[in-house]
Amino acid sequence: MSHRGPGHRPLDYDPQPHRCAAGVTGLALRDGLQAVIDTEGGRYGGGSIGRMLDELKELGQAVSREDASVARALLRDCPATAGDVLQQLALQAAAGSDLATELLIERLDDSGVLRRFARGALLDEAAIEDVCQDSLISIASAIGSFQGSSKVTTWVHRIVRNRVVDHLRRQRATSPLPADDCGPAQRMSSMIATRATVRAALAGLPDLYREPVTLRDIEGLPYAEIAERLERSLGTVKSQVARGRALVAAALRDTAGGS
């Protein structure tokens, strides 16, 4: 799946270079439609099945001849969550129709289905928004790989879950360390600093702080051992490391131009 960065807008995608040939596409579409009717037709009464089939067919034809206004008019009357309509749009989008992709994205967005999937695994409102945006981009970029053998919502759910994982990984990568030594260390690591500038900043520290910070952050010794080596108390060493880091962070910030 080609997932491009979150900087793109949902509809800002390129046509897929690997779309199926027209004949294969037609067969896949018919099989897919039949599958939809087989699985979902049961909830309609006798007369409604025929009407539903007609409407789906009309929609399919409108999309095929790139008639956006007729397709939109047909879609206006059916609920955004209607699975059969989503399935049909997905199949036509997978077959290479840009209009179907656009309509699919619109309907997925309107239906709130992405939001419902994202809310299942996320609590933060901003995170849910981000994941929905990322998911729409992924869906638009990868629709060419939708096979039609599963329900489109199942396929979409898998994509949302992948974007949830991406989001959580990104968040965790920038989240503070779990132990007692977060804060300044986190700020230091978040700055784009080369090893050389860190060393220069360390070298500029007063001896009192340079020794414990070097032993802790460069040599990775536990606090207890540093305390023993420097013949200082554990509490003293911890606070000296903390302050030393803060000074290094401040020095790095100055180097970086005071951001």
Partner 1 sequence: MAGPERLGRYRLEDVIGVGSFATVHRAVDDALEDTVALKVLAENHSLNPEVRERFIAEGRSLRRISSPHVVTVHDIGESERQQPFLVLEHADRGTLADRVQELRHRGWTATPADVLVTAREVAAAIEAVHEAQLVHPT
DSSP sequence for 176-211: PPSSS--THHHHHHHS---HHHHHHHHHTS-HHHHH
- Chain centroid to CA 246: how far? 33
Of 28-36, 195-203, 207-215, 236-244: span binding partner 1 (CB under 8 A): 236-244
Q: Is 242 in the site for partner 1 (CB under 8 A)?
A: yes
CB of 164 to partner 1, least distance (A): 5
CA dihedral (190, 194, 199, 205) in degrees, to 10, reads -40
Q: Is 171 in the site for partner 1 (CB under 8 A)?
A: yes
Q: Is 129 in the site for partner 1 (CB under 8 A)?
A: no
Q: 């309107």: which residue's tokens?
A: 110
Q: Is 124 in the site for partner 1 (CB under 8 A)?
A: yes
How far, in Å, are 205, 210, 245, 251 from residue 199 at the CA level? 10, 10, 12, 11
In 3-state terms, what secondary structure has residue 105?
Answer: helix
CB of 180 to partner 1, least distance (A): 3
Of 3-11, 173-181, 196-204, 208-216: span binding partner 1 (CB under 8 A): 173-181
- State which residue, 178 or 258, has the beta carbon closest to partner 1: 178
- State which residue, 71 or 164, has the beta carbon closest to partner 1: 164
Handedness of CA 163, 165, 170, 175 (dihedral sign): positive
Looking at residue 81, the DSSP 8-state letter turns out to be: T
User: Judged by CB under 8 A, how many residues of this single chain contact partner 1?
Assistant: 21
Q: Is 183 in the site for partner 1 (CB under 8 A)?
A: yes
CB of 179 to partner 1, least distance (A): 8
Q: Is 121 in the site for partner 1 (CB under 8 A)?
A: yes
Please, are residues 188 and 199 in contact by the beta-carbon 8 Å criterion?
Answer: no
The residue ranges that bind partner 1 (CB under 8 A) are 120-124, 161, 164-165, 168-169, 171-172, 175-176, 178, 180-181, 183, 238-239, 242
